[in-house]
């Protein structure tokens, strides 16, 4: 198939590019090479076969030309990161939502009716929990006095009692907590509206914590794994917030690339509309465990658990991988303990 890959030069996009090519697909590459992601001057050094377009302001003629003859769009271009300041809202809306809306409009003009969309686990907010009295509940917002006292787990929103985390499935309510999360939800909604209007088919891949070679090491959007890795390179101990017991689902970038390839190959068989899938390892792993694995892989200093906490941080979120296994045939192949150990010496992207 002929696949338009947006964000083709990015951390995840570049690995998808390789996986699609390995599986015999023709990849048409598009990237804006924004300085905040790739560094100053990167655009001037971009490969000749990459369409240097910013979806926000590319002309209709430019977008229509790039989409000519395309079978499926694999849309990875986005501004990432937490976006924890309300002043970030306009940038996330412009990069992620306006850019996606303009891409979808062009697909409608040209007649491309299949989409694979990079979404995120952040749409779920702070996961799901079980209360002994009230069952499946969203967590209450953590209280400043609890955090100050070292109580980092959230409470039941009904009775204020203890709760335990549970796996998040794709039918869980969506609860944005950040600018980035709101923009990813909006992308899914724009895609759903496009599907309705154009009888289109879309797969939304809700990535969990992606790591691996090529992670950005020094941008405002670097993930916690890259932050810990950079500390170790400086000879410093990774600094772990809270008590280090925050549960996450770490998924290797090569597994994410595989999920995208499978989605590209199967989206035509999905019903009209957006079908969401968690892209996750399905294996619980704590932030503290990750820091320790990275440190021991390079004989670095033991991580320091700081006890620092922020109300808006997610405490626990772990995905159910079952729907992706059934609908895409996707199961993550790289265990977190193995992939994270390799990350200690993997090359990172430096601006």
Q: What values do phi and psi take at 288, rounded to 5? A: -60, -40
- Full set of structural domains in the chain with CATH: 2-127+168-344 (3.40.50.720)
Q: What is the DSSP string of 31-64?
A: E---HHHH-TTTGGG--TTEEE--TTT--HHHHH
Q: What six digits make up the tokens of 180?
A: 């980035």
Best CA proximity match to 19, nearest among 255, 342, 299: 255
- Chain CA centroid to CA 231, Å: 23
pLDDT one digit per residue (tens) for the chain, 351 residues:
999 999 999 999 999 999 999 999 999 999 988 767 776 767 766 787 889 999 999 999 999 999 999 999 999 999 887 666 788 888 888 889 999 999 999 999 999 999 999 999 999 988 899 999 999 998 998 999 999 999 999 999 999 999 999 999 999 988 888 889 999 999 999 999 999 999 999 999 999 999 999 888 755 445 788 889 889 999 999 999 999 999 999 999 999 999 999 999 999 999 999 999 999 999 999 999 999 999 999 999 999 999 999 887 889 989 999 999 999 999 999 999 999 999 999 988 876
Q: How far apart are CA 66 and CA 4, in angstroms?
A: 8
SS3 15: helix
pTM of the model: 0.94
Q: What six digits make up the tokens of 124?
A: 């779920």
């Amino acid at each position: 198939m002929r696949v338009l890959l947006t964000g083709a030069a990015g951390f995840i996009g570049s690995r998808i590019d390789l996986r699609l090519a390995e599986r015999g697909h023709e990849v048409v590459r598009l990237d804006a090479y924004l300085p905040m992601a790739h560094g100053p001057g990167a655009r001037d050094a971009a490969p000749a076969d990459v369409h240097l377009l910013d979806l926000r302001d590319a002309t209709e003629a430019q977008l229509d030309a790039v989409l000519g003859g395309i079978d499926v769009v694999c849309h990875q271009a986005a501004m990432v990161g937490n976006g924890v300041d309300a002043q970030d809202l306009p940038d996330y809306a412009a990069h992620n939502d306006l850019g996606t809306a303009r891409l979808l409009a062009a697909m409608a003009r040209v007649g491309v009716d299949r989409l694979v969309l990079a979404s995120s686990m952040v749409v779920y907010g702070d996961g799901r929990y079980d209360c002994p009295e009230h069952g499946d509940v969203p967590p209450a917002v953590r209280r400043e006095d609890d955090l100050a006292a070292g109580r980092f787990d959230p409470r039941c929103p009904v009775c204020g009692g203890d709760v335990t985390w549970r796996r998040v499935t794709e039918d869980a309510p969506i609860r944005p907590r950040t600018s980035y999360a709101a923009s990813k939800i909006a992308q899914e909604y724009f895609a759903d509206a496009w599907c309705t209007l154009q009888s289109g088919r879309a797969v939304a891949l809700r990535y969990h914590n992606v790591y691996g070679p090529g992670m950005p090491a020094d941008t405002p959007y670097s993930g916690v794994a890259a932050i810990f890795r950079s500390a170790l390179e400086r000879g410093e101990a990774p600094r772990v917030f809270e008590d280090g017991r925050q549960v996450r689902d770490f998924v290797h970038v090569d597994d994410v690339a595989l999920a995208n390839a499978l989605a590209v190959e199967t989206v035509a068989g999905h019903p009209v509309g957006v079908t969401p899938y968690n892209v996750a390892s399905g294996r619980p792993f704590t932030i503290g465990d990750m820091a320790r694995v990275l440190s021991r892989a390079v004989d670095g200093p033991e991580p320091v658990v700081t006890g620092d906490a922020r109300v808006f941080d997610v405490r626990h979120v772990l995905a159910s991988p079952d729907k992706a296994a059934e609908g895409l045939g996707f199961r993550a192949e790289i265990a977190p303990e193995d992939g994270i150990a390799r990350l200690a010496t993997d090359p990172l992207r430096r601006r």
